[in-house]
Amino acid sequence: MSLSLLVACGSGQDAGSGEPQEDQAATAQDKPLSKADLEKAAITGQDLDGYEINPALAAPSASRRTADPARCTPVVQALGGSSGFTATARVGRMIFSKKHGPGASMILSSHSSGDAARVIDAFRAAAERCKTFKDIQVDFRYSDTQVEPGAGYGDESVSLRLTQLAADSENEEPVRVPFAVVAVRQGTTVAMFSTFNRPRGPRKPDPARVPDAIIKAQLTKLDELGLSG
């Protein structure tokens, strides 16, 4: 089992109006971040007490993971920390709790401002209409999909809980594995956080959740470095 420019440049005649400065600020905010920027912005153990943080592979290409039905594909892609949009750059981190609490995987993606918003829109739309679906690549089904209200992170965010039905064959009783995904857009940067709660023994596992401290630490670092995009 296994477990995201258009600038109206004023002429010199408008230099005293303040409009060129506003346009330049808008340009900076709309500029996609480089991989070096994302590496600098990604949280480390020094930014988050009680966690060990290690690099993880992340490619800038659009995800090829698909779902059945196809309209649920953005959720399957978000489970892998990606989307159907090619990124300017992506970096990944695996975040482990030193106190045996929940950790998370995290992928930071840099996009144009338009694509960054589209990543969130596509994920939200799929999450709202897909209660059950199948990840074709790994042949696992998911159910109990539920959008959590009031995520409230960054410029916009979507928080999702769902259950993976993991089985080696159709005749086998599936193991129910709770998953959680939180997608956040902050400027041109999209942060995808995901985690799961591994079942232990006969007791029904608790719902999965991405620790709030992880999300806030990452968004705070983006803000402090001025790298929200």
Helix/strand/coil (H/E/C) assignment for every residue in 138-178: CCEEEEEEEEECCCCCCCEEEEEEEEEEECCCCCCCCEEEE
Mean pLDDT of 117-135: 96
- Give the model's confidence band at 201: pLDDT under 50 very low, under 70 low, under 90 confident, else very high: low
Percent of the chain with pLDDT over 90: 70
Give the mean pLDDT of 70-96.
Answer: 97
Burial class (CB in 10 A: 0-12, 13-18, 19+), 23: middle
**Other C-beta atoms within 10 Å of 168: how many?**
10
Task: Tally the residues of the chain.
Answer: 229
Q: How confident is the model at residue 206 (pLDDT cuts 50, 70, 90)?
A: confident
User: Do 10 and 17 form a contact (C-beta atoms < 8 A)?
Assistant: yes
CA 76 to chain CA centroid, Å, is 12
Q: Quick one: pLDDT band at residue 132, thresholds 50, 70, 90?
A: very high
pTM of the model: 0.84
Structure tokens at 91: 């970096």
Whether the CB-CB separation of 5 and 83 falls below 8 Å is answered with no
Averaged confidence pLDDT in the chain: 85
Q: What are 146-174's pLDDT values in tens digits? A: 999 867 899 999 999 999 998 766 777 88
The DSSP secondary-structure symbol of 208 reads P
CA distance 229 to 222: 9
Average pLDDT for 114-120: 97
